[in-house]
Amino acid sequence: MKNEYLLLTPGPLSTSETVRSAMLKDWCTWDDDYNKDIVEVIRAKLVSLATEQEGYTSVLMQGSGTASVEATIGSAISQSGKLLVVDNGAYGARIAQIADYLNIPCSVISPGETAQPSLSEIENALSTDLAITHVAIVHCETTTGMLNPIEPVASLAKQHGKVVILDAMSSFGGIPMDIGELGIDFMISSANKCIQGVPGFGFVIAKQTELEKCKGQARSLSLDLYDQWHCMEVNHGKWRFTSPTHTVRAFYQALLELQDEGGIQARHQRYQTNQKTLVAGLRSLGFTPLLEDSLHSPIITSFYSPTNSDYQFKAFYDRLKEQGFVIYPGKVSNADCFRIGNIGDVHPSDIERLIGAIANAMYWEVK
C-alpha cells in the first residue's frame, strides 16, 4: 500500500494508507449498510462542513469534478436563463466552454490569468445585461494558484438577484467558508481534492429551494442534477446509475480523517504552512513565484521556469520523481512555469524534503 512518490499536484493527490485500504471491500449498491450508513452520512457531513445555515442539501455525482460542474450548469439554468462567468484561468474558461456546448447564453469577464476580476466590471455587466440570471466563479483557480474574491463577487450577484454558482473544486475542505453566509446557491467540489479522497465522483452542495427549481431543466440524462438528488432523497442514498462504491467508501474514511485532524480549520493551517515553507524554500534556491504573495492560495503555487537554456521541465520532473516527488507542469498561456501543490496527505516535513530534492535536481547553472 506504499507509494513510490508523493503527488504534489492539485488532485488526484497523495492519500493516506487508511483511505486506500478502505477500498479493499466490495459493496452492494442496494444495501442499507452502503446507502444509509455511508452515502447518507457523507451527504449530511458535506452539508455540515459547508454551512451552519439551514436549507442546504447535497447530491453526489459520478465522474470527474468537471462532470459535476457540467451537471450544475446544465441543470440550474433554464432555457430562458443566461450565465455570467468570471474567467481568469483554465477552469473559469471551462465553465464558459460547458455553457457553449450546452447552447446556454453566456457572457464572460476575462481579466487575464494573473489578475483578479474587477468588481466594477462585474457590477457593470449585472447592471446593463438584465438577461443574466446566474453568476459562476472559480474559488481557487489552480491554473496559477490564485484565490479569487468570492465574498464580494457573491455579494454583488445577490444585490442583483442572481443565482451564484461556485466552483470550489480545489478549495472546499481546505479553506474555511460558510456558503450560506456567502449567499452561494450551488457549490461544486470533488472527492479527490482537499477532503483527500480518491477520484470517482464529485458533489454539489446546494440551497434546496434552488435545486428544486432544476426539475425538468437538465440537458443531459446522466448529468441531471435534480433527478440524482431526488433519487437519493426518496431512496435513502440510492444512486440512479452505478455508484462508484469503492471510491465512496474511501471518501467516508477521508471525512473521518478530516475530523480527526481538527476539521477544515486545522487542515487549512497545515496547507498554509506547506505553502509558505515551499515559497520560502524555492526563493532561497532562486525560483520566483508567478503571482504576488497576496494572491496566493494555500492549495497550489506556480513558479517561473529557470531562464537558463539548459533547463527542461521533463528532465527536472524526472530528477524529482527519482527522489520520490511528482510536480505539475504549468498551465498559464503567457508564462513558462511549473506548479507545486500543497494539498493531500502532505506535511511540512515533506515540503522540507522536497526543497532538498529540488536543490539536488538543479542540473542547470543558476544565473
What's the DSSP call for residue 133? -
Half-sphere exposure for 131 (CA within 13 Å, toward CB) = 9
C-alpha cell at 298: 494555500
Q: Which amino acid is at 241?
A: F
3-state secondary structure of 242: coil
Distances (CA, A) of 96 to 136, 167, 263, 349: 9, 12, 33, 39
Is 339 known to sit in a ligand binding site?
A: yes
Torsion angle defined by CA atoms of residues 63, 344, 117 and 81, in that order, rounded to the nearest 10 degrees: 20
Q: What angle do CA 178, 265, 173 make, to 5 degrees?
A: 60
Quote the CA–CA distance of 162 and 183 in Å, as a whole number: 10
Phi-psi region of 85 (alpha: psi -120 to 50; beta: other; left: phi over 0): beta
Q: What angle do CA 58, 64, 67 make, to 5 degrees?
A: 70
| Beta carbons within 8 Å of 266's beta carbon, 6+ residues apart | none
CB 358 within 8 A of CB 282: yes
CB 281 within 8 A of CB 273: no
3-state secondary structure of 110: coil
Q: Which amino acid is at 198?
A: V
Sheet with 328-329: strands ordered across? 300-304, 337-341, 328-329
3-state secondary structure of 61: strand
CB 211 within 8 A of CB 11: no
Quote the CA–CA distance of 115 and 172 in Å, as a whole number: 22
Binding site, residues?
339
Binding site for substrate, residues?
339
